[in-house]
A and B are shown apart, each in its own frame.
Chain A
Amino acid sequence: QVVLVQSGAEVKMPGASLRMSCMTSGYSFTDYFLHWLRKAPGHGLEWLGLINPRSGTTTYAQKLEGRVTLTRDASSATVYLHVSSLKSGDTAVYYCAREGRDGDYKYWGQGTLVTVSA
């Protein structure tokens, strides 16, 4: 079955950088786009960006463009989210999600809690 497993919780200082991973299994890695989203306390779900695992092509939310980078490693069927210049407003649970069909999210990782605090 399709499984997405994310890396563990992180605590970071403001200004630091962060890389988290999402390891996939149970399907052909290059057949579906993978997305990253987050849910901050008191806020709704926010889309961060997507990556085409076949080509490595990415699209980012304009709000975070320049601070977010998505990469992939096809050999391990893993995608990575890198966020730089962290702020307290980046405190959130981060999710990776795989498309079901056209952009709906049928499969989700378990979530990674990121806390940015001095």
Chain B
Amino acid sequence: EIVMTQSPESLAVSLGETATINCKPSQSVFYNAKNKNYLAWYQQRPGQPPKLLVYWASTRESGVPDRFTGSGSGTDFTLTISSLQAEDVALYYCQQYYSTPYTFGQGTNLEIK
């Protein structure tokens, strides 16, 4: 099983500033045959299912603001949220879908400072 280590557990950032969340899989999630990293990022607000933000580590899902940027490869990934807005307050998860069981980070709780 690939263990996903996500940090920090919680984060407080001022409106308009940048939030950075890190995710480190215990083994590489780069799929050589497709030249892609099998890693996704989700946002979850209370009472709602998770919402897909980024897939293949850096491809933004349709309709997601360009303030959300995924980067990284192999075993080191980052989600950057720039120009933080009040609506960005949520729980954020990384997920690997390289191999089953698909696994998630423990989550990062993003708040406004």
Contacts and interface: CB of A to CB of B under 8 A. Distances in A.
Interface string A46-68: 11001000000001011100000
Interface string B31-43: 0001010101010
Of the candidates A103, A104, A108, the one having the most CB atoms from chain B within 10 angstroms of its own CB is A104
Interface in B31-69: 34, 36, 38, 40, 42, 49-52, 55-56, 61
B22 interface: no
Contacts of A62: 101
A95 B49 contact: yes
A104 B93 CA distance: 12
Contacts of B103: 47
Contacts of A46: 104
Contact of A45 (B93, B98, B100): B93
B95 interface: yes
A109 B49 contact: yes
B49 A110 contact: yes
Interface of B: 34, 36, 38, 40, 42, 49-52, 55-56, 61, 93, 95, 97-98, 100-107
**Shortest beta-carbon contacts, A-B, top 8:** A103-B97, A108-B49, A104-B55, A104-B40, A45-B104, A47-B102, A61-B101, A44-B106
Given A47-B104, A104-B40, A105-B42, 5 more contacts: A45-B95, A100-B52, A102-B97, A103-B38, A106-B52
